[in-house]
C-alpha cells in the first residue's frame, strides 16, 4: 500500500472497528483495512486470541493502522486505546465467535466488544467464513437469526472452498458496503 492512501486517523474521521477471527482467510485482512482507509475510515483491529496466533500478519496490520491490535483486556486504570466506533465489521467471522456472540458470551475482548456494540446503535456487519457442514448446525442457524434480529447485517455465506477445490475471493469490501448503507 502506498503512503499516499495510508490513513491512520484524525479526530474528525469516522472510526471503524475490524474484528478478526481465526479463519484461514484472515490472512487477507489487510485488503479490508486498505479499502476502509481509502473510503475515509480510521481503523482499529481487534483479534480473537486464536486469530492472533498466526492467522494474519500482525506486524503489517499494526503498521497499516498505526495502532496496536487489541486482543487482551487492558489493566484497570489504563486508558482505552481506541475511540468509540462509528461502525463495526467482523471479518472473517468464525462459527465459534458467531455462536458465542449470539449467546451473549464475553470471555475474550473481541467477543465482549461485540456484545457491547450491539447496544450502541452503530452499524455492525459480519462476513462469515463457515464451512457448509458447520453452517448446517441448528445452533448456528439460530445464532444468525438472533443476530439479524438485533440488526446485525450479514454478507453472503462463504464456505472457504469453491467447486474446483480452490478458495474463491473473500468479499472484503462487502463489509464496508453493509455498514455504509445507512
Ligand X SMILES: Cc1cc2nc3c(=O)[nH]c(=O)nc-3n(C[C@H](O)[C@H](O)[C@H](O)COP(=O)(O)O)c2cc1C
Q: Which stretch binds ligand X (CB under 6 A): 44-52, 62-70, 75-83, 141-149?
A: 44-52
Number of residues in contact with ligand X under rule CB under 6 A: 14
Binding to ligand X by residue 23, rule CB under 6 A? yes
Positions 73 through 132 that interact with ligand X (CB under 6 A):
94-97, 129-130
Residue whose CB is less far from ligand X, 9 or 155: 155
Long-range contacts of 169-175 (CB under 8 A, 24+ apart): 170/25, 170/28, 170/91, 170/92, 170/127, 170/129, 171/127, 172/28, 172/29, 172/31, 172/32, 172/35, 172/91, 172/127, 173/32, 173/35, 174/125, 174/127, 175/32, 175/89, 175/91, 175/125, 175/126, 175/127
Positions 51 through 80 that interact with ligand X (CB under 6 A):
51
Q: Which stretch binds ligand X (CB under 6 A): 19-27, 60-68, 81-89, 162-170?
A: 19-27
Positions touching ligand X (CB under 6 A) are 21-24, 48, 50-51, 94-97, 129-130, 160
Amino acid at each position: 500500500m502506498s503512503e499516499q492512501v495510508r490513513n491512520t486517523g484524525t479526530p474528525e474521521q469516522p472510526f471503524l472497528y475490524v474484528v478478526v477471527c481465526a479463519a484461514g482467510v484472515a490472512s487477507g485482512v489487510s485488503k479490508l483495512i486498505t479499502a476502509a482507509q481509502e473510503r475515509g475510515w480510521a481503523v482499529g483491529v481487534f483479534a480473537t486470541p486464536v486469530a492472533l496466533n498466526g492467522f494474519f500478519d500482525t506486524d503489517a496490520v499494526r503498521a497499516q493502522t498505526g495502532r496496536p491490535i487489541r486482543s487482551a483486556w487492558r489493566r484497570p486504570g489504563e486508558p482505552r486505546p481506541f475511540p468509540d466506533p462509528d461502525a463495526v465489521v467482523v471479518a472473517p467471522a468464525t462459527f465459534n465467535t458467531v455462536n458465542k456472540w449470539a449467546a451473549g458470551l464475553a470471555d475474550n475482548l473481541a467477543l465482549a466488544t461485540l456484545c457491547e456494540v450491539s447496544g450502541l446503535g452503530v452499524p455492525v456487519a459480519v462476513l462469515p467464513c463457515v464451512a457448509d457442514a458447520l453452517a448446517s448446525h441448528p445452533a448456528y442457524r439460530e445464532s444468525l437469526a438472533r443476530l439479524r434480529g438485533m440488526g446485525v447485517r450479514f454478507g453472503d455465506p462463504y464456505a472457504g472452498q469453491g467447486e474446483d477445490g480452490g478458495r474463491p475471493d473473500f468479499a472484503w469490501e462487502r463489509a464496508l458496503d453493509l455498514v455504509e448503507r445507512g
